[in-house]
Amino acid sequence: MKLTQALKMAAKSISANKGRSALTMLGVIIGLAAVIILVSYAQGQNLAMRKYYESMGENTLDVYAYSWDGSVDVNEELYNYCQRISDYVAGVTPNGRAWGVSISYGVQTLGEGNSYGGGIMIGGGGIMIGGGGGNYVEPPTFYLGNDQFSVCNNYTLARGRDISYMDIERLNQVCVLGASVAQSLFGMIDPIGETVTVNGMPFTVIGLYAPKGNGVTEYNESGDNWQEVAMSRMDNIVVFPHTLTRILNENQSIDEYTVKARDSQSTRMAATLIKSFMEGVLGDNGYVDVYNQTVYQEEEDEANKLQQYFLGGIAAISLIVGGVGIMNIMLVTVTERTREIGIRKAIGAERKSIITQFLIEAAMICGIGGIIGILVGYLGTLIVGKLAFKIVLIPGAGITVGAFAISVALGLIFGLYPAAKASRLQPVEALRAD
């Protein structure tokens, strides 16, 4: 039997039983669409995570170092050493935090103690009055950094200037605002040069960082996507010269630092050099450890791959169910066409011709179902991408081609037993069938 003839016979058989063929394809359509959507969702999550890491700054190191008795000025030693290895390091900054701080401009106040709906809260999240109800308004994160804070943490200035070395040396009461804080406090007013009150002390706003996220500072834990929240938090910051820890943080020492490497190739070398140097400086009189954020990203990539395999495996179960449905329908088809098979064998049709005919029919049903499943999967992926990640998420070409190949292979695998059964029918017995 020629291939074209087998294809025509398969198409005729499928069109003769449109309803049954459609229901048979349904299992393949649902299974394939589920595989595409779930795998694409995992890839979208991976893209969102990469975007988050990029927004924090690529090629960065987290350094934890402190002296037990304060005899070593860790900040000065680390800063000066990073200047000496500038071939590998682009910048270094303390990454200290100020706690129990609030910032005010006019009647608007942001900070700890102003985050829930108790009493009156006026700010970027609107006005909340009354008891403990209402949405949670994230207070800003107050950082203590230096003139290289923006370089190390991948911030760019929208207006004004950054903290300078002289601000640090002279303990100037200045600050740089993240986009969300500026919007919450000033609205449409240009904050540059304005005076804000921080814990009752006047501070001059000298700079404004360009937004990284969508500017949302108010969110509900059960409603928003975690990537949105993370990106918003990166805009919800205020940065002061780190020497102001004396007045903002009761002179609490800073032991967290961020180092920005020149490129990905320099990251590991910079980590090795810094750790070795600081261990030599501190000796037994302190502690130092260096964490490579590239390692965190690689670990996250591995975790996402495992998630893709897991989600794909779950969706594949529905494909197997669809394959069993194909086998069942093909067995019914063999039973219905027993007499036809007997006639063909009586006039000299070989076993391989019978097997080929039924395999092509099963593969055609699955192939058509696969094409429809791919289209449904594309539509579902676009919807999921918009709802979950706020991006246009499109399945990769590899997923599409692989999905179609799987659908055809499914027909061949689950159609093999019915085809073999049909080819083993004896002509005399087959001709006796009703």
pLDDT single digits (tens) 267-277: 889 999 999 99
Which pLDDT does position 147 carry in this prediction? 93
**Identity (one letter) of the amino acid at 315?**
A
DSSP 386: I
> Residues 390-428: pLDDT tens digits?
778 888 888 888 888 888 888 889 889 888 888 887 776
Please give the pLDDT value at position 51: 67
Local structure of 392: helix, strand or coil: coil
Give the full edge-to-edge strand order of the sheet including 89-94.
89-94, 256-261, 60-67, 286-292
pLDDT, mean of residues 1-11: 76
pLDDT at 372: 92
Q: Which long-range contacts (CB under 8 A, 24 or more apart) does 222-230 make?
A: 225/388, 225/389, 225/390, 227/48, 227/49, 227/51, 227/52, 227/389, 228/390, 230/52
Quick one: pLDDT at residue 275? 92
**Residue closest to 209 by CA, chosen among 175, 242, 166:** 175
DSSP SS3 for 117: coil
| pLDDT given for residue 398 in this prediction | 82
**391-397 — which CB contacts under 8 Å span 24+ positions?**
391/44, 391/47, 391/48, 393/40, 393/41, 393/43, 393/44, 393/47, 394/40, 395/36, 395/39, 395/40, 396/40, 396/43
Q: What is the pLDDT, as a whole number, of residue 15?
A: 84
Query: To which H or E segment does residue 196 belong?
Result: strand 195-198
Q: In the predicted model, is pLDDT for residue 221 greater than 50? A: no
SS3 category, 63:
strand
**pLDDT over 70 (residue 188):** yes
Please give the Cα distance from 372 to 379 (Å, whole number): 11
Burial of 414 (0-12, 13-18, 19+ CB in 10 A): buried
CA–CA distances in Å: residue 101 to residues 104, 118, 252: 10, 18, 14
CA distance to 101, 227, 313, 356, per residue, from 44 (Å): 37, 11, 18, 41
| SS3 assignment, position 216 | coil
Amino acid 361: pLDDT:
87
Q: What percent of the chain has pLDDT over 90?
A: 32
Residue 3 has pLDDT above 90, yes or no: no
For residues 206 and 263, the answer to whether their CB atoms sit within 8 Å is no
Q: Which two tokens stand for residue 50?
A: 């990469």
Helices (H), 204-350: 226-235, 245-248, 264-282, 293-336, 338-346
* Mean pLDDT within 89-95: 93
Q: Three-state SS for 127?
A: strand
The pLDDT confidence band at residue 115, using thresholds 50, 70 and 90, is very low
Q: How far is CA 45 from CA 40, 50, 127, 300, 386, in A?
A: 9, 9, 34, 11, 12
Residue 326 sits at φ, ψ, to 5 deg, of -60, -45
pLDDT in tens, 56-66: 556 889 999 98
| Cβ contacts of 100 within 8 Å, gap of 6 or more | 112, 199
pLDDT in tens, 288-344: 999 886 666 666 667 777 777 777 777 677 778 888 888 888 888 888 878 777 787
Percent of the chain topping pLDDT 70 = 82
CA atoms of 376 and 38, how far apart (whole Å):
13
Instruction: Enter the tokens of residue 110.
Output: 């942001």
Give one DSSP letter per residue of 162-175, joined into a string: ---HHHHHTT--EE
DSSP E strands, 98-148: 102-105, 108-111, 119-123, 126-130, 136-137, 141-145
CB 248 within 8 A of CB 101: yes
pLDDT of residue 253: 86
